[in-house]
Amino acid sequence: MKRRSVMLVVSLMFVVLGALASEAAVYKMKIHSVGSDMHASTFALKDFKKYVEEKSKGQIQVSLHINASLGGDRQATEAMQLGTLEAGIIGGSILATFEPKFNIFEFPFLFKDDPTAKKLIDGELGTMLDKELQKQDLRVIAYGVNGFRHVANNRGPIRKPADMKGLKIRTMENPIHIATFKLFGANPTPINFGELYTALSQKTVDAMECPVNLIYTSKFYEVQKYLSMTGHLYAIAPFVVSEIFFKRLPADLQEILLDGGRRYRDKQRSLTVEEEQDMLAKLKKSGMQVNDVSSSEKAEFKKLSAPVYKEFEGRVGKDLLEKVIAANK
């Protein structure tokens, strides 16, 4: 009888301890983004936060840190590797410095249109890149996109390489990107995105390049007069999670996170498509002079950038580069 009582007490203790452990299993998830409160990624992140917190019954608690409030993409990525930051929306050019195969998105005029790019990202290419990135303690749970990048400046419309001669342009921190603009005759200068508005207003640089949605939501129209629709690069914005954080989660919470990532991807992409034409119209209304760049004019830029393909193909592998080129013909 006494032994049975002891066993009952022990059993009750395990139940209580289990309940306490369950209550204590709360995982805080800080998410970095350089996007403003008006950016598609921010709206999609708010939806992600609500979904994940509800589905996990509060076990995952999400806090959003937008406007580069935690620093730039590089600092955020390094923090994720260390496990001191749980997640972030990271530009592809920064990820390329951690996993070289992400450089596939840095080759100029490689992707012919949005549907082709998304098909590749959602297929074998995206899966392979994620697997390689996991070796760096980073995991992609969603491939957000910002669309094609275009050049804005204060000097005049850009339709041919000669229009870029001597132009001091802010570029991303990527050697392929820098080499490309040097071939165009420009003077490329890498600057942290969070410092770009100030750099433009103080005339540290005369020009910049990024997707339409970032030009509008970051208010670059206040410090740039001309926007030329060069479409020279396709911009991805992966939702990256620290692998250290991900592995800490129980299997059921990992699945909720992955489901939330798919939900984020769909919403972010949908909003990006919806907003681009509206934002382009608003940029024109704000006073920016917008000019199209014809296919023949883009071909001139592409021809001039050919040496970049040969010089940097080793970063992604000749086979991968040729496969992506073939998919865009």
User: Is the model's pLDDT at 192 over the cut of 90?
Assistant: no
**pLDDT of res. 173:** 82
What pLDDT, in 10s, does the model give residues 143-170?
999 999 999 999 999 999 999 999 999 9
What pLDDT, in 10s, does the model give residues 209-256?
999 999 999 999 999 999 999 999 999 999 999 999 999 999 999 999
Range of the domain at 64: 26-327
Percent of the chain with pLDDT over 70: 93
Q: In DSSP terms, which residues pair with 227 in a beta bridge?
A: 152, 290
Query: What is the SS3 assignment for 49?
Result: helix
Helix (H) or strand (E) holding 116: helix 114-121
Six token digits for residue 58: 């509060």
pTM: predicted TM-score of the whole model, two decimal places: 0.87
User: Is the model's pLDDT at 5 over the cut of 70?
Assistant: no
Domain at 304, CATH number: 3.40.190.170
Strands 138-153 and 207-211: antiparallel
Q: 11 lies in a domain?
A: no
* Angle between the N-to-C axes of helices 306-316 and 295-304, in degrees from 0 to 180, rounded to the nearest 10: 60
Q: 7 lies in a domain?
A: no
Burial class, 17, CB count within 10 angstroms (exposed 0-12 / middle 13-18 / buried 19+): exposed
Query: What is the SS3 assignment for 66?
Result: coil
**pLDDT of res. 13:** 53
Q: 14 lies in a domain?
A: no
Burial class, 65, CB count within 10 angstroms (exposed 0-12 / middle 13-18 / buried 19+): middle
Q: 2 lies in a domain?
A: no
Q: 163 lies in a domain?
A: yes
CA distance 256 to 50: 12
User: Are the C-beta atoms of residues 153 and 165 closer than 8 Å to each other?
Assistant: no
User: Is the model's pLDDT at 329 over the cut of 80?
Assistant: yes
Count of domains in the chain? Answer: 1
**pLDDT of res. 194:** 86
User: Is the model's pLDDT at 12 over the cut of 60?
Assistant: no
User: Are the C-beta atoms of residues 161 and 198 closer than 8 Å to each other?
Assistant: no
**pLDDT of res. 123:** 97
What pLDDT, in 10s, does the model give residues 56-108?
999 999 999 999 999 999 999 999 999 999 999 999 999 999 999 999 999 99
Q: 17 lies in a domain?
A: no
Six token digits for residue 114: 């949005």
CA distance 320 to 42: 32
Closest CA to 75 of 34, 131, 35, 126: 34
Q: 271 lies in a domain?
A: yes
User: Are the C-beta atoms of residues 110 and 325 closer than 8 Å to each other?
Assistant: yes
The dihedral built from the CA positions of residue 289, 148, 206 and 275, taken in this order, carries a sign that is positive
